[in-house]
């Protein structure tokens, strides 16, 4: 029994040492993004270095960086043409999908990432979308997920940046991710993966906070804390805008 215990302990120590051969030292150009009335997007620089306790292991090193927005439940609907008009037909509810998701890597993901590690760490965009129970709603759930990915990639809400991570001397890395103007407020987890032979050998996590500031923040808090006052103010603004437009039209017509 003692011999078995020592054998297991040695194996565990060897595994821990192997996992600690390479670690990530991370830097961010900013750890907070403020959404104001003039916010039209932002560029986020993620950079860092690979710290090694021993000599550099054999084999090529690859780096994958992901940045995810808050998870949100949503429903994807398929439109069909009926009687000459487009209507919503079949719908598939998704339990959670990131409001924003970017994947930046040193090379094409199929070449540097094994499916088992993608499944374990949910790295690629399809893996980041949770479709629990969706198969009971439709048989072709994958088509709905593909459609969601296409739409959000067109809006820059999903980004595949293969080859965008620059790696120097297998030690220093950097990448830049463009944040669109339509950002949801919340915590944005950033993850950095080091890979060798398609397997994740080290991982580092950080968080970037995105929040409204100034008048945007004040209006947001009013809508949540004082919905009646917010509704009355919105109604007053709408009435004033309508009256102003009508008065301007009368002046133009009479001139």
**pLDDT tens by residue, 167-210:** 998 899 999 999 988 888 889 999 999 999 999 999 999 999 98
Q: Which of 122, 133, 55 is nearest to 93 (CA)?
A: 133
Dist CA 69 CA 154 (whole Å):
17
The vertex-113 CA angle with 112 and 116, nearest 5°, equals 155
Q: What is the rounded average pLDDT of the residues 96-117? A: 95
Averaged pLDDT score across all residues of the chain? 80
Asked if residue 222 has pLDDT above 70, the reply is: no
pLDDT category at 6 given cuts 50, 70, 90 is: very low
Asked if residue 68 has pLDDT above 70, the reply is: yes
Q: Which of 1, 45, 31, 43 is nearest to 166 (CA)?
A: 45
pLDDT of residue 167: 94
Q: Are 207 and 31 in contact (CB under 8 A)?
A: yes
Q: Are 63 and 195 in contact (CB under 8 A)?
A: yes
**More confident of the two residues 120 and 87:** 120
Question: In sequence order, what are the residues at sequence separation of 6 or more whose Cβ sits closer than 8 angstroms to the Cβ of residue 243?
Answer: none
Find the DSSP H helices in the chain: 2-19, 109-112, 115-121, 125-128, 141-154, 215-225, 227-254
Q: How many CA atoms lie within 13 A of 37 on its CB side?
A: 5
Q: What is the rounded average pLDDT of the residues 153-166? A: 95
Q: Are 32 and 211 in contact (CB under 8 A)?
A: yes
The sign of the dihedral angle between the CA atoms of 156, 189, 21, 12 is negative
pLDDT of residue 145: 87
């Amino acid at each position: 029994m003692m011999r078995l215990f020592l054998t297991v302990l040695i194996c565990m120590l060897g595994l821990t040492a192997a996992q600690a051969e390479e670690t990530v030292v991370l830097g961010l150009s900013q750890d907070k993004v403020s959404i104001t009335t003039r916010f039209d997007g932002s560029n986020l620089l993620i950079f860092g270095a690979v710290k090694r306790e021993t000599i550099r292991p054999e084999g090529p090193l690859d780096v994958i960086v992901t940045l995810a927005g808050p998870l949100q439940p949503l429903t994807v609907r398929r439109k069909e043409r009926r009687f000459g008009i487009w209507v919503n037909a079949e719908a598939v509810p998704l339990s959670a999908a990131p409001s924003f998701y970017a994947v930046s890597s040193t090379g094409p993901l199929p070449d540097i990432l094994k499916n088992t590690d993608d499944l374990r760490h949910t790295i690629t965009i399809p893996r980041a979308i949770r479709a629990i129970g969706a198969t009971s709603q439709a048989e072709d759930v994958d088509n709905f997920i593909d459609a969601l990915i296409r739409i959000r990639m067109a809006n820059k809400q999903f980004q595949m940046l293969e080859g965008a991570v620059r790696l120097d001397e297998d030690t220093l890395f950097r990448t830049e991710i463009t944040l669109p103007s339509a950002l949801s407020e919340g915590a944005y987890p950033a993850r950095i993966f080091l890979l060798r032979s398609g397997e994740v050998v080290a991982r580092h996590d950080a968080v970037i906070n995105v929040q409204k500031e100034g008048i945007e923040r004040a209006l947001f808090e009013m809508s949540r804390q004082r919905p009646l006052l917010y509704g009355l103010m919105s109604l007053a603004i709408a009435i004033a805008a309508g009256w102003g437009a009508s008065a301007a039209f009368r002046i133009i017509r009479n001139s």
